Structure 1
């Protein structure tokens, strides 16, 4: 079972981002995803920078995948996407069907990201014909749905692509044309001042009763809980999961990667550090069940 570092969901300063990935090159990871998936206005690193960083990290022996935006709204964003396909020199994580189309035309292998809606084996089989090599199910797709889809693929005589699940991180729940960070700070979206850079793990959102509820991250809304599928490793192996995705976080990311690296080499399930993911079990996603260690690990 491989470990992947998912694309950075937050907006960090340029030097912090570069330092993070250069450190990650020495972590026990097999795959690193690079690129902006949330907001095209985040330009601390431009397209050229991401491509150059991909080339640099590929020298560490890890597979590098460039990730596309999850919500494409402008012609300029399509232009950036086309450049990633044409000049990236590696696989692309397609988070929008326009990315699938460009990869198919170019004959470029791609990963179906978690925002690409795949809910049945017919859709998955079609994407495989287009060049899909790896599938990351959406955050709400749990063990039972994935098992049913896999069994249907095999019953049709089709091979499953690589299966990658989100094992650690705040789940990306939704995307919108509206910038929630700008709205919370009462500034126009087009004059936001890139204020989300002030929130390296997203802006906390509480209920009126003061209970932590969500994280605002530009046009993205995340769950507050840092989900942890570590204790479900035996079930993940039985399901045929090939990769465990760990999303970057501002603090303690190396320790999380090392925790999963030890766990994947063990026959016993590790202790739960983060929150239980209800979605995986076919239940409501939000769960407050976690150990005290989750507070420090989650940052």
Structure 2
């Protein structure tokens, strides 16, 4: 069984007024791929994506160490290939380190030395600090106060991606306290598009849903290129199961909140890859960042950003 994805409505999203020469132009990043796709599909996706109007591309496995369609050396090789485009390439690490073998993979990413690393676990922070590798604090690192951010900055942090539940007000409070303590704020990157990664577990939810053992999973999550839908008992769409990760069902969209993002001093908008229509999404946000007029919402409203429940029952 495979996850069938309909042609997205935003593939033909309406245009909106554009004003070039936009001051404080935000950057666009392609976040690390959260799903498990076949090797050739993954390579083809990134070789196409590098032509899109992006500034930063994150590469690597962040969810499950059993996903080895691309080996570590191939991820690094792909990073070296894509770096020739002039875009910044960042190597992303696992969000849950459980074994010595996973530490070995992490060590190879950090030791390469040619790229920043997205640290999604404190073990990645430690290795980056020891080797002097600049790193991005990923959303799984759970940075909730300005003192933690300052400690990470001492270790080599250059960019911070807040957790999905940290909305506008919480980020503002942390940023203000950080600056008031006399620190220069690192780059701020906010998740602006995609299904939000809500939690990770040592248990594989996909294997459990299919009633198979985790160690004999057969890599079944490769059959669900946008995750396995999970509904409530009443049949209402609720979550997406993605191996050991649980995501929200809605594809959240912070495009209409661009004025607030600019006012907050957000430097980078993170767009998470999805199986269909990703180029249209990137080009939509590329138009949006050069416009003084907020773009139409083509995904769902993110309640977390407004200090409300993250799940919104009504799509735009």
Common topology (TM > 0.5): yes
Q: Give the alignment of 1:47-62 within 5 angstroms.
A: 47-62=72-87
Deviation at 1:201, TM superposition (A): 0.1
Preserved contact between residue 215 and residue 224 of structure 1 (Cα < 8 Å): yes
Deviation at 1:286, TM superposition (A): 0.2
Match of 1:125 in 2: 150
Preserved contact between residue 109 and residue 132 of structure 1 (Cα < 8 Å): yes
Q: Matched residue of 1:78: which SS?
A: helix
Deviation at 1:88, TM superposition (A): 5.3
CA–CA distance in structure 1, aligned partners of residues 145 and 113 of structure 2: 30
Preserved contact between residue 276 and residue 288 of structure 1 (Cα < 8 Å): no
CA–CA distance in structure 2, aligned partners of residues 88 and 47 of structure 1: 14
CA–CA distance in structure 2, aligned partners of residues 257 and 215 of structure 1: 22
Match of 1:189 in 2: 214
CA–CA distance in structure 1, aligned partners of residues 113 and 71 of structure 2: 13
Q: Matched residue of 2:141: which SS?
A: coil
Residue 283 (1) aligns with residue 308 (2): yes
Residue 42 (1) aligns with residue 67 (2): yes
CA–CA distance in structure 2, aligned partners of residues 221 and 130 of structure 1: 30
Match of 1:268 in 2: 293
Count of aligned positions: 291
Preserved contact between residue 181 and residue 216 of structure 1 (Cα < 8 Å): yes
Q: Matched residue of 1:115: which SS?
A: helix
Residue 173 (1) aligns with residue 198 (2): yes
- Unmatched segments (≥5 aa) in structure 2: 1-25
Match of 1:297 in 2: none
After TM superposition, where is structure 1 displaced by more than 4 Å over at least 4 residues in a row? none
Match of 1:162 in 2: 187
For normalisation by structure 1, the TM-score amounts to: 0.97
CA RMSD, Structure 1 to Structure 2 (Å): 0.6
Deviation at 1:154, TM superposition (A): 1.1
For normalisation by structure 2, the TM-score amounts to: 0.91
Which one scores higher on RCO, CA 8 angstroms, separation ≥ 6? Answer: 2
